[in-house]
Structure 1
């Protein structure tokens, strides 16, 4: 392996992007490996462009712009003629702190694990303050904050490609050379979207037989904002996760279509009504309150996506 490309797509997050790119300038260069950093401005309206113009990167630096709103639109900008991707393409987000050994760990994995084409590492939460313990116990933390708890199976060794998370994963360029790209109908593209910008691609790669290796020692910190600890944000995140669940089920060949009521799954309508009644009665701040808040909005998102029948495209 002779070259690495580090990719960051960004939208209106200049404050956290500054911290991310500060950590990029603290990365240890990999001996004998050419490193390129690509930042894709996804039509930001804050001071992102001004900051990127002034940014002095220790590595070869390329700034791209994508006017079409959506993280996967931005990532697919990589496949334009102006970009020469490295042998390994490493992805992170605009709210992540990278450790000094980050690139070296990926270079070592790519060299030592020749039977693998997909790589990933640990994602830890960098909290703005102490998060409510009952909230962490009541919601799906891995989904809510894109972290990788060891008890959820994130351990060094071979894992399912779908266990990779956006803040910390990599793909060999030869996969992209074979024609694989990101699905632009999935992932962040506004206020209400189906989660899983990279997961949909990873399902396709899994189904084509590509293997993934996880390195628990290559850990990044995911910056969690104060607003992400609010009930409204948790509810919104659960709703988006519920919408993406149908895509996961379709990619795994599970049965989705069922008996319907007003265009929704009958079983989901019943569960949603029951959860709503319990949520109204649950003491706010209690662990059960958070469990119900997460589950109710997750089901609501599932119902919304089911009625659109967009999942038929994944079958």
Structure 2
């Protein structure tokens, strides 16, 4: 079995070296290539990777550098897919740290579940070196899982039915035959410098669900993922969740009997409801609860924005 590991990267050289080191230091039994795709970085990403290539020359895992000039993580991912030849493709973001044994855990899961197409590992928050604001939840019911990641289904590999709870793009793997049959990532979705429009992974998994509706949780495929200081601000969360709302409305038809200007009336009701709850908890000095409902409001506002964008 041959394995391809792909890391798309953009202007994160300060984080990237730790990611590369954590992957290249893994002990594996199968043939593995590790491809870092530089998505038109303006920092010293290229130099960092070439230094790592020299450092790990002769290592069991073969490290390669690719360049993709079109902006967007999914352009970089698709370039990596096209230029790799592994039977399975593992994607790791450029700011994660892979726990020792994590790569072999993925490979073992591929062999344990040969009929499955999608795999995702355990994710824990890499504790920041700065104080988090009071409104930012890192666990519990007010966690924003699209931004602050905490994925843990226990200590044993298991098949998770459906994609309502799905693997997270910063640590996931896909069988190559799935790409060959259903296509690669949509490039109109995903994060870029100018827009935060997630949803490419979910849209891809919807295509895969025509064949197999579920994914494999890889218990020992543990990565640590940080929240960065520039992300620990309300404006980032609002923009990101607004994008989630747009993608949700784009990918799923919203059924409704009562509409206004073609928009399901209950979406406006949700905006009012969560706005009132955000205000209620703000007055009660409960910042975490208040901001959760505020971002729920922004998610539904994204639905409204997408509705009228489609009418143009």
Per the TM superposition, whether the score is higher than 0.5 is yes
| Alpha carbons 2:124, 2:150 under 8 Å: kept | yes
Distance across 1 between alignment mates of 2:225 and 2:200: 17
Q: Which residue of 1 aligns with 2:99?
A: 99
The structure-2 alpha-carbon separation of the partners of 1:210 and 1:227, relative to structure 1 and needing over 3 Å to count, comes to: same
Q: Which residue of 2 aligns with 1:189?
A: 192
Q: Which residue of 2 aligns with 1:125?
A: 125
Distance across 1 between alignment mates of 2:215 and 2:273: 40
| Alpha carbons 1:135, 1:285 under 8 Å: kept | no
What are the Cα deviations for residues 63-112 of structure 1, in whole angstroms up to 9, with x where unaligned?
A: 111111111111111344xx242111111101110112112111111112
Match runs of 1:92-241 below 5 Å: 92-128=92-128, 129=130, 131-132=132-133, 134-136=135-137, 139-150=142-153, 156-160=157-161, 162=163, 163-209=166-212, 211-241=214-244
| 1:52 is the counterpart of 2:53 | no
| Alpha carbons 2:242, 2:301 under 8 Å: kept | yes
Aligned length: 299
The structure-2 alpha-carbon separation of the partners of 1:86 and 1:258, relative to structure 1 and needing over 3 Å to count, comes to: farther
Q: Which residue of 2 aligns with 1:289?
A: 290
Secondary structure at the aligned position of 2:8 is classed as strand
Structure 1's unaligned 5+ residue stretches are 311-315
Q: What's the CA shift for 1:194?
A: 2.1
Q: Which residue of 2 aligns with 1:88?
A: 88
Secondary structure at the aligned position of 1:182 is classed as coil
The structure-2 alpha-carbon separation of the partners of 1:103 and 1:62, relative to structure 1 and needing over 3 Å to count, comes to: same
| Alpha carbons 1:146, 1:166 under 8 Å: kept | no
Q: What's the CA shift for 1:273?
A: 4.5
Secondary structure at the aligned position of 1:164 is classed as coil
| Alpha carbons 1:41, 1:65 under 8 Å: kept | yes
Secondary structure at the aligned position of 2:298 is classed as helix
Q: Which residue of 2 aligns with 1:34?
A: 31
Distance across 1 between alignment mates of 2:258 and 2:69: 39
Q: Which residue of 2 aligns with 1:313?
A: none
- The partner residue of 1:249 within 230, 248, 252 is 252
Distance across 1 between alignment mates of 2:116 and 2:45: 35
The structure-2 alpha-carbon separation of the partners of 1:122 and 1:114, relative to structure 1 and needing over 3 Å to count, comes to: same
What are the Cα deviations for residues 220-267 of structure 1, in whole angstroms up to 9, with x where unaligned?
A: 1012112222222222222122222224534xxx63796124x65433
Secondary structure at the aligned position of 1:135 is classed as coil
Structure 2's unaligned 5+ residue stretches are none
| Alpha carbons 2:97, 2:223 under 8 Å: kept | yes
Provide TM-score, normalisation by structure 2.
0.85
Task: Give me the CA root mean square deviation.
Answer: 2.7
Q: What's the CA shift for 1:212?
A: 1.8
The structure-2 alpha-carbon separation of the partners of 1:177 and 1:290, relative to structure 1 and needing over 3 Å to count, comes to: same
Distance across 2 between alignment mates of 1:266 and 1:227: 36
Q: Which residue of 2 aligns with 1:70?
A: 72
Distance across 1 between alignment mates of 2:19 and 2:256: 40
| Alpha carbons 1:118, 1:210 under 8 Å: kept | no
Distance across 2 between alignment mates of 1:79 and 1:289: 42
